[in-house]
Homo-oligomer: A and B are copies of this chain.
Amino acid sequence: MAECGASGSGSSGDSLDKSITLPPDEIFRNLENAKRFAIDIGGSLTKLAYYSTVQHKVAKVRSFDHSGKDTEREHEPPYEISVQEEITARLHFIKFENTYIEACLDFIKDHLVNTETKVIQATGGGAYKFKDLIEEKLRLKVDKEDVMTCLIKGCNFVLKNIPHEAFVYQKDSDPEFRFQTNHPHIFPYLLVNIGSGVSIVKVETEDRFEWVGGSSIGGGTFWGLGALLTKTKKFDELLHLASRGQHSNVDMLVRDVYGGAHQTLGLSGNLIASSFGKSATADQEFSKEDMAKSLLHMISNDIGQLACLHARLHSLDRVYFGGFFIRGHPVTMRTITYSINFFSKGEVQALFLRHEGYLGAIGAFLKGAEQDSESRCWRP
């Protein structure tokens, strides 16, 4: 019913970190032993970020200095091991399809709401749409947070703090994933968030950002058109179909238009001239796999070109991709990367994020944590 905690890096089934360790920050220290969570309800998916401390045993080793002349210690062991309990602050993630919003709220009620909890931080359009339902079911006050603010806050946070968060994807390279090192100077950059639809945001500083564009051709289109074409209603199943398909059976390629003569003209015959161009006139059935692959290419290429054009218009050379469309799928990342390279002639770099789908939820969580921290400071 609900898919659990895929953090976004790798398609479902891969081994994934389902939580991140929070940095030892003033804000998070205040949270210990408090149950805190935030919810981001988009057009299709509900994302939940929740905090908990993880208690674990750590072996500590103390070694002695044996270089001295202290012969009494010679028969003592060279080191001392002690086992200590340690508490780590972690942020956990889970996602649900919006269809199961009530089940999601039940989960929250059973696991995250205690007598101290008064407020739930919520963002995304669903924070407005489901406000009454949430307040009624959880008996909490919904604190609606601005979608863009949360998205950017979450993105800035993971870029600065989470190791191995952003990476370049290059198929056929070794390694395929090349991780970017965290550092505090992340601005300016372009964020392309691909949820049901696409939002394109220019981020200049921690607090200054601008929505510069968007597209209705996003994850909801892959899911929606994919469902109509293949009768498969599951997003991950569609991705799985796509990974086994041959888009050239459905797409009209340059070589189909030129009948092989493209070579003498220096054209790449494998370029897609028209997505789904073959299904217009060919009298045949098309396989689900081929259609899903063609659809994935169509959408990824389009987003790549839009991202590249916006980056060039605003003189930005790095584009980060967020949102739950990509979910670490190689075909998607490869196509987006290819498209950006092609249209920018290599001048714009596409970067993917391991926690791509949870940026808004992380942002909303941080907003709540900050408010909590401030209210504690001001408490008499």
Contacts and interface: CB of A to CB of B under 8 A. Distances in A.
Given A258-B125, A259-B129, A313 B305 contact: no
A197 B272 contact: yes
Contacts of A233: 280-281
A352 B194 CA distance: 32
A105 to B, nearest CB: 16
Interface in A256-300: 256-262, 265, 272-281, 286, 291, 297-298
Interface in A31-72: 42-44
Contacts of A227: 279-280
A145 to B, nearest CB: 12
A254 interface: yes
Interface string A336-362: 000000010000000000000000000
A249 B302 CA distance: 24
A263 to B, nearest CB: 10
Given A228-B291, A280-B44, A309-B306, A261 B129 contact: yes
B258 A216 contact: no
Interface residues of A, number: 68
Contact of A298 (B216, B258, B281): B216
Contacts of A305: 213, 215, 306
Contact of A221 (B216, B223, B276): B276
A151 to B, nearest CB: 14
Given A286-B228, A313-B313, A197 B125 contact: no
Contacts of A205: none
A42 B313 contact: no
A224 B278 contact: yes
**Copies per assembly:** 2
Given A228-B286, A310-B309, A343-B213, A274 B196 contact: yes
Contacts of A186: none
A229 to B, nearest CB: 6
A98 interface: yes
Given A228-B229, A302-B215, A305-B215, A223 B280 contact: yes
B196 A277 contact: yes
Interface string A196-208: 1100000000000
Top 7 nearest A-B pairs by Cβ distance?
Answer: A129-B259, A220-B274, A224-B276, A125-B257, A220-B277, A128-B261, A223-B280
Interface of A: 42-44, 97-99, 124-126, 128-131, 195-197, 213, 215-221, 223-229, 233, 235, 250-252, 254, 256-262, 265, 272-281, 286, 291, 297-298, 301-302, 305-306, 309-310, 312-313, 343
Given A44-B280, A128-B265, A227-B280, 13 more contacts: A43-B273, A125-B259, A128-B258, A129-B257, A129-B261, A220-B277, A223-B276, A224-B275, A224-B277, A228-B291, A302-B302, A305-B306, A309-B313
20 contacts: A44-B277, A129-B257, A130-B259, A197-B252, A197-B272, A197-B277, A213-B305, A217-B302, A221-B275, A223-B281, A224-B252, A225-B275, A225-B276, A225-B279, A228-B229, A233-B280, A235-B280, A302-B302, A309-B309, A309-B313
